[in-house]
Structure 1
Amino acid sequence: MNGAATHGEHGTGTRGQDGQGWRYLLDEGTDPAGRIPVHAVQGSWPPGPDAAHRPNPRHRRPLPDPVPADAPPPGLPPLGAGRRPAGRALLSWLEDTRGPRLCRVAGSSGSGRTHLLTWLAAACPPDHPRPGRRVHALLDVEGLTVRSAATRLADLLGLTAGNPADLLEALQDGTPRTVVVTDLDRAGGPGLPGTPERLVRELLAPLLSVPWLLLVVEAAHGPAADLLTAAAPGGAVLDLDQPQWTDPAQYAAWCARLTGHQVDPATTHPSPGLAQLAARTPGAVLDPARTPAERATALADAWWAALPEAERRALQALSTADGPLSTDLWATLPGAGGERTVKSAADLLPPPPMADRWRLRPDELAERVAADRPPVDHAAMMWEVAGGIPVRADGGPDLAASDPERLALLLRHASAGDPASPMLDELDLLLHAEPATVTAAFQRAEDAGAPRTPLAEAWRLAAPDRAALARPADRAAVLHAWLTGRDAESAAHCARLAEARWHTVWNRPAAGPCMTALGVGPLAGRLLLADGASLHVCDPANGEPASPAAPLTLRHPRALTATAFGGALLLDASGALQSVTVDGAVGAPAGALETLGPVTALAGHHDALVLGLSDGRTTHSTLATGLSHCPETPLHEGPVTALGVTDADGGTLVVSGGEDGRVWTWMPGRPPLPAPVDRRPHAVTAAALGATPAGLLLAAAWSDGLLRLRRWGDRHRGADIRLGAPVRSLAVTPDGLVVAALPEAVLALTLVDRGSPG
């Protein structure tokens, strides 16, 4: 494997100094091109010229490993086709603490790149006892856009993001991760040419700047691979077309076990895909002196010439799909010949990487079949595919009863025939089709210059390419949230389909990162909203501004709170507090904040401030008297990341969330509860409490995008909500509205009883 990184004394410096991405300040002597431990990073700056420095709380504090060192290591899964040398090379790269952060797995189509990386992920689970043998995400980007790839990767990592910028922000938590990306060259599919290159520029290259992240990418030699090399010139390359990565004896033994025609391993080495196709081709004669791609072309010609006419037509039908198909759907395509012919044709193909997801492979075979068929009539195909949709009693199409794969194929042909197809306005179709196909269709319309519709904008913000939104009802619930204020009719339709325990009351879009807090003192009964450039005092019932906006100079706030003085306080990512003047009133008197020191979370209540610290402690300080209360022992392991406070039971009730995923409640002057009220394996990003007409309401959000609303003392009355973006801050109004601030909007939600009108 070539491309070892160079090492040396580089001195203190930054990584990513072009100003376009995240920048990092490294310890003296750290190689910016190599592996960078989290504790060697002093801090970072977000993109932009006015970004504030973020100190790294883990600087010079090596991370404890949550996996017991004495845990038995899992055995390596079998790796066939003689690929053990390639597998050992990848394991060595993973464990090389001085190696480059990128490894590209190259080779011709059929060389076994995807199979090898799937094996690597299985051999290196995230909880492997050896830290150097952990893969945290295996992302297949075939057919994905940049947005859907970012969304799915965040989902696999236990984060939430609707675009690469959100994902990069979420990855600043300092957690070491290894990400494996397969099928880069098939990103976007035939309908979105250039997507592999876009994926490198907009997602993978920025990921390579994150010091504690390793990236393994499957990409053949070509434009996307060249962009990867430019982003990481010292990256390693494992080219599976090179014979040293395949053991000849093991490869020959594997070829001997293939069913079908006898394969001469010397003529197909080192390509498993070539051998599988040769086993299905009678009388195949290959020249081992030619390249694997040249041999694949010659073999595809011989294979095609030997096929019966019925199977040829079935395979031509498969080639029109622009993506993998199940045998059931394949058998219904025009010209496929039905179930029996399709089964016979499938037996003539190399086995698919995923069970019953057929496509023509290797690429040379797909090109040969496509060259021998007439051009695809997408309009005719659209109507043929639509003919397989069940019909309701009233004669209309029953999309809910249809196969999501069929609806996706219908949408692919509609989009190929007309990028701005009216089918993109068919809400029920989008709710029941495979989400990645819908995202790609919207991307195709955008690239063609079509105006972005309210539904397209709601789909983008909902980021439905996630496992949690696999059910159409869950997808309808989150689309309802983002259609509110954009398309009332579609929003109401989604609400009816979702039958959710929650409802969106209003939606206020914003142009920057949003924060929210309830007003106190002179601002009691109002809602504070910060949108990145201004602070607005709003009516909580509808989110409309009630007074002129106050300008903000802090561009990347972490928390916002109102104070008894009539103004507000902002907490930035460095832990510093800034006073904000609202309608002439200051957030804090001069000098009042200087003694507080750096904090990690903030909440205000009457004339008190609640502060969270990096060591897991929380304090409640009354400004008028100077009295402070703090639980005797820290409630959290690691920094406090979110705080909320309200009146309850004749006193003050505080809720705190931490990087450890725990949510605690406590009252000043009283001992805390014996256990947290909630816990999840993800960092808490926001928390709030409120006394409402229906009782005390607790809201908490975690880094994987889950927002949980619960009535106090009743675990069965509430809702788990995923809005498609990280919730940055929360507020609960006295009327029971939960106001959630996200990167591009502020939403007001309410819990509803099942069966009540939404």
Structure 2
Amino acid sequence: MDSDNRAGTRLADRAEDGPTAPDGTPGTPGAPATPGTPARWQYLLDDGLDPAGRIPVHAVRASVPPADRTGTPGARRPNPRHGRPLPGPAPAPADAPAPGLPPLGAGRRPAGRALLSWLEDTRAPRLCRIAGSSGSGRTHLLTWLAAACPPDHPRPGRRVHALLDAEGLTVRSATARLADLLGLAAGEPAELLEALQDGTPRTVVVTDLDRAGGPRLPDLPERLARELLVPLLSVPWLLLVVEAADGPAAEALTAAAPTGAVLDLDQPQWTDPAKYAAWCAGLPGHPVDPAATHPSPGLAQLAARTPGAAPDPALPPAERAAALAGAWWAAVPDAERAALAALAGAEGPVSTALWATLPGADARSVAAAADLLPPPPMADRWRLRPEQLADLVTADSPPVDHAATMWEVAGGIPVRPDGGPDLAASDPERLALLLRHASAGDPASPMLDEVDLLLHAEPAAVTAAFQYAEDSGLPTTPLAAAWHRAAPDRAATARPADRAAVLHAHLTGRHDAAAAHCAELARQAETRWRAVWQHLPADGPCAATPGLGPSAGHLLLVDGDGLHLADPATGRLRDDRPEPLHAPHPRALTATPFGGALLLDASGALRSLTVRGAEGVPDGALAALDACTAVAAHEDVMVFGRPDGLTTYSEVSTGTAHRPEHPLHEGPVTALDVAPADGGVLVASGGEDGRVWTWMPGRPPLPAPVDQRPWPVTAVALAGTPAGLLLAAAWSDGLLRLRRWGERHHGADIRLGAAVRTLSVTPDGLVVAALPGSVLALTLAG
């Protein structure tokens, strides 16, 4: 395996000096990237580390985010794990059997061992690219790697945390899916980079990068590499394994990580000849000469479907594939050619049933044509492969009539009693193919305004159609904007009712008809929550909290324009000129008993804000506060969270302080709220450990947390409402959970497309959730 695509040397044999961070210490790459590439984070490292190599979390002193849209430099964020190595796993018993590896056929054991060695080599580069011609088995190898290295593998060096199939994805859909796989929430690469600053070591595997976007978006592989994967390479505790043949996408990765490892499966040393020959002998169909197809499993599979195939072993794999594809196509009977041409025109994998409905195909010809093809990597997901075969069939077939194909596909959609198409009763794959061909024929297709189609089609096809319209120069519609903010390319929004509810939230106040339609569908599905209003600023991240003292009855709302006063019931701003404020990454916002507010940003800085002339805290009070990771206040009470898991409760009028005897959280407190309850004051806290606790000063805490999930808590809120005490909690994976006190199983689990930054509950029972780019007010039904 090479660590430099050009020199062919191993990373361990070279030691290039990396760039330096702003304070002169060695840092990971952070220089301005090419146009269109998000600015990278910089990391301040301990001395003596190779910025291009593996960097332990405890060796990172701090991180510096890129400048914001105004050009203001990001504030340095100290790494709380600096100098504190992560504890290793408990040693396995001496008599415990070693974890086995799943089978890896076609003689690919040498390639598998090389990948495992790279994964465990602490001196290896953070990028490994899997190269090779189409059919060389790149995707199969990486699928095997993910199966062999689950996230809970007893050996920390053999853990794969996400396997992302990039076929058909855009930058947005790939970002949303990757975040979902990692237990995070993000719709844009910058949001994912922000979420990955938690210091958690992760290994990400990306397959089929060269098939991203599809034929309508041929530059998507390079864009996905440049806009998402290249920024990920700057994260020192993240490893990246990417399947990409030589081309623009691979060049973008190599330019960003020139010392990255390359495993080229066309090189014969990565395939055991004897085991490859034995594997070829077991292929059904015609006999295969292993010497003529070595080392490509795809060529062998195609040769087994081609009578008399004898490609010249002296030719490069790509030329052998082209010659073999020509021989295969020449042997295909005329009766099956139309079905294969229809498959090529589908522009993506399709099931057998859907293939049979395409123009020129039927059940008989599809069954016969399928017998001529190598078996698909995924059951019943057919496409022509290797790519030389697909190119040949496409070139030798009439151009795709997208309009005719669209109507043919539409003919398979069930019909409602009133004669209209029943999109809800159709399968998502058919609707995705319908949309794909409608968009190919017209980027501004009216189908992109058909809400039911967006709710029931495969989400990646919808995102790609919106991307094609955007790249064609068309203006972004309210539906497209809401779709992007909802980021529905995740498993959690597979149910159309859940998709309808979150789209309704992001359409509220922007597209009344579509919002009402989504709301009705969500209501029919008995979704237990609904959106009431939405604040969508022109710029900047958001935070919100109910006012206290002189601002009581108002909502304090921070966005890119500054600090506003808003109506909690409607979200309407009550001031024409907000208080000037620059808050690039707000972590917590709370009104204070003094009439002002406190803002805690992601760097750990606590700022006092003036509201209508009232200060957040008296002069000098902030200097008396030590490290603070969360803050909340109510009437005469202020509560502060600390990095050690402790919470301090202070009464302003008396100066009395309380804190639980022992820390309730393992690690920092990340979220707080406080509210009157049961004749006293109830404190709710969330932590990096994923736990949500409630306690009252002077009383022992409950024996167990009220909620717990395996992701850090990002926000909590509680308040008395007409229906009782309401507790809201949000986690870094994007889940927002609403529960009335004592109703464990009758609340709502909500995903709004991004992680919630701040939460508050109004006396009327509205839950106000601030996302990175908007504020939503929700209510719990029933």
TM-aligned CA deviation for residue 709 of structure 1: 0.3
The CA distance in 2 between the partners of 1:627 and 1:212, in whole Å, is 43
Matches within 5 A, 1:148-187: 148-187=173-212
Is the contact made by 1:707 and 1:727 (CA closer than 8 Å) also made in structure 2? Answer: yes
Matches within 5 A, 1:673-752: 673-752=702-781
Matches within 5 A, 1:626-645: 626-645=655-674
Is the contact made by 2:42 and 2:63 (CA closer than 8 Å) also made in structure 1? Answer: yes
**In the alignment, structure 1 residue 546 sits paired with structure 2 residue 574:** yes
**In the alignment, structure 1 residue 651 sits paired with structure 2 residue 665:** no
State the partner residue of 1:756: none
Q: Residue 64 of structure 1 aligns to which amino acid in structure 2?
A: P
State the partner residue of 1:120: 145
Is the contact made by 2:561 and 2:578 (CA closer than 8 Å) also made in structure 1? Answer: no
State the partner residue of 1:449: 473
Is the contact made by 1:12 and 1:30 (CA closer than 8 Å) also made in structure 2? Answer: no
Q: Residue 561 of structure 1 aligns to which amino acid in structure 2?
A: T
The percentage of aligned residue pairs carrying the same residue is 76
TM-aligned CA deviation for residue 565 of structure 1: 1.3
TM-aligned CA deviation for residue 618 of structure 1: 0.7
Is the contact made by 2:43 and 2:60 (CA closer than 8 Å) also made in structure 1? Answer: yes
TM-aligned CA deviation for residue 555 of structure 1: 2.6
The CA distance in 2 between the partners of 1:368 and 1:544, in whole Å, is 59
State the partner residue of 2:7: none
The CA distance in 1 between the partners of 2:624 and 2:55, in whole Å, is 35
Mean CA deviation greater in 16-25 or 365-374:
16-25
State the partner residue of 1:589: 618
**In the alignment, structure 1 residue 57 sits paired with structure 2 residue 80:** yes
The CA distance in 1 between the partners of 2:664 and 2:172, in whole Å, is 37
The CA distance in 2 between the partners of 1:141 and 1:266, in whole Å, is 32
TM-aligned CA deviation for residue 65 of structure 1: 4.2
Q: Pick from 479, 490, 505: which aligns with 2:503?
A: 479
Provide closer, same or farther for how the CA distance between residues 459 and 388 of structure 1 changes in structure 2, counting only shifts above 3 A: same
State the partner residue of 2:384: 360
State the partner residue of 2:530: 503
State the partner residue of 2:293: 268
Matches within 5 A, 1:159-238: 159-238=184-263
Mean CA deviation greater in 287-296 or 579-588:
579-588
The CA distance in 1 between the partners of 2:339 and 2:160, in whole Å, is 39
The CA distance in 2 between the partners of 1:45 and 1:602, in whole Å, is 23
Aligned residue pairs total 752
**1:24-53: CA deviation from partner (whole Å, max 9, x where unpaired):** 111111110100000000111111042111
Q: Residue 653 of structure 1 aligns to which amino acid in structure 2?
A: L
Q: Residue 479 of structure 2 aligns to which amino acid in structure 1?
A: L
The CA distance in 2 between the partners of 1:41 and 1:419, in whole Å, is 46
Provide closer, same or farther for how the CA distance between residues 193 and 663 of structure 1 changes in structure 2, counting only shifts above 3 A: same
Q: Residue 215 of structure 1 aligns to which amino acid in structure 2?
A: L
The CA distance in 2 between the partners of 1:551 and 1:443, in whole Å, is 35
TM-aligned CA deviation for residue 229 of structure 1: 0.2
TM-aligned CA deviation for residue 582 of structure 1: 1.2
TM-aligned CA deviation for residue 73 of structure 1: 4.6
**In the alignment, structure 1 residue 29 sits paired with structure 2 residue 48:** yes
Q: Residue 73 of structure 2 aligns to which amino acid in structure 1?
A: D
The CA distance in 1 between the partners of 2:464 and 2:30, in whole Å, is 33
Q: Pick from 610, 615, 638: which aligns with 1:609?
A: 638
The CA distance in 1 between the partners of 2:505 and 2:87, in whole Å, is 40
**1:685-726: CA deviation from partner (whole Å, max 9, x where unpaired):** 100001000000000000110000000011133111000011
Q: Pick from 376, 382, 390: which aligns with 2:406?
A: 382
Q: Pick from 415, 428, 435: which aligns with 1:391?
A: 415
State the partner residue of 2:102: 77
The CA distance in 1 between the partners of 2:309 and 2:632, in whole Å, is 74
State the partner residue of 1:410: 434
Q: Residue 495 of structure 2 aligns to which amino acid in structure 1?
A: R
State the partner residue of 1:135: 160
The secondary structure found in structure 2 opposite 1:716 is coil
The secondary structure found in structure 2 opposite 1:60 is coil
Matches within 5 A, 1:432-581: 432-499=456-523, 500-510=527-537, 511-547=539-575, 548-581=577-610
Matches within 5 A, 1:276-291: 276-291=301-316
The secondary structure found in structure 2 opposite 1:355 is coil
Mean CA deviation greater in 211-220 or 62-71:
62-71
State the partner residue of 1:107: 132
The secondary structure found in structure 1 opposite 2:504 is helix
Mean CA deviation greater in 114-123 or 72-81:
72-81
State the partner residue of 1:427: 451
**TM-score, normalisation: structure 2:** 0.95
**In the alignment, structure 1 residue 259 sits paired with structure 2 residue 287:** no
Q: Residue 313 of structure 2 aligns to which amino acid in structure 1?
A: P
State the partner residue of 2:2: 2
TM-aligned CA deviation for residue 623 of structure 1: 2.4
Is the contact made by 1:9 and 1:29 (CA closer than 8 Å) also made in structure 2? Answer: no
The CA distance in 1 between the partners of 2:435 and 2:16, in whole Å, is 54
Q: Residue 17 of structure 1 aligns to which amino acid in structure 2?
A: G
The CA distance in 2 between the partners of 1:628 and 1:565, in whole Å, is 18
Provide structure 2 residue ranges, at least 5 long, that are not aligned to the other structure.
4-9, 19-23, 33-38
State the partner residue of 1:307: 332
The CA distance in 1 between the partners of 2:773 and 2:58, in whole Å, is 32
Is the contact made by 1:725 and 1:743 (CA closer than 8 Å) also made in structure 2? Answer: yes
Q: Residue 401 of structure 1 aligns to which amino acid in structure 2?
A: A
Mean CA deviation greater in 571-580 or 36-45:
571-580
The secondary structure found in structure 2 opposite 1:104 is strand
TM-aligned CA deviation for residue 8 of structure 1: 7.4
TM-aligned CA deviation for residue 102 of structure 1: 0.1
Q: Pick from 13, 18, 28: which aligns with 2:26?
A: 13
Is the contact made by 2:89 and 2:154 (CA closer than 8 Å) also made in structure 1? Answer: no
Q: Residue 380 of structure 1 aligns to which amino acid in structure 2?
A: A
Q: Residue 546 of structure 1 aligns to which amino acid in structure 2?
A: R
Provide closer, same or farther for how the CA distance between residues 453 and 234 of structure 1 changes in structure 2, counting only shifts above 3 A: same
Superposition RMSD in Å: 1.3
Mean CA deviation greater in 373-382 or 6-15:
6-15
Is the contact made by 1:532 and 1:556 (CA closer than 8 Å) also made in structure 2? Answer: no
**1:444-503: CA deviation from partner (whole Å, max 9, x where unpaired):** 000001111111111110101000111111111110100101111111111111121111
Is the contact made by 1:522 and 1:564 (CA closer than 8 Å) also made in structure 2? Answer: no
The secondary structure found in structure 2 opposite 1:381 is helix
**1:612-660: CA deviation from partner (whole Å, max 9, x where unpaired):** 1111111101223221110011001111111111010111100000111
**1:198-242: CA deviation from partner (whole Å, max 9, x where unpaired):** 001100000000000000000001111011100101000000000
Q: Residue 141 of structure 2 aligns to which amino acid in structure 1?
A: L
The CA distance in 1 between the partners of 2:618 and 2:413, in whole Å, is 68
The CA distance in 1 between the partners of 2:205 and 2:606, in whole Å, is 40
The CA distance in 1 between the partners of 2:635 and 2:376, in whole Å, is 64
Q: Residue 2 of structure 1 aligns to which amino acid in structure 2?
A: D
Q: Pick from 394, 398, 414: which aligns with 1:370?
A: 394
The CA distance in 1 between the partners of 2:610 and 2:92, in whole Å, is 53
Is the contact made by 1:134 and 1:178 (CA closer than 8 Å) also made in structure 2? Answer: yes
The CA distance in 2 between the partners of 1:266 and 1:344, in whole Å, is 29
Is the contact made by 1:408 and 1:433 (CA closer than 8 Å) also made in structure 2? Answer: yes
**TM-score, normalisation: structure 1:** 0.98
Is the contact made by 2:62 and 2:76 (CA closer than 8 Å) also made in structure 1? Answer: yes
TM-aligned CA deviation for residue 69 of structure 1: 4.6
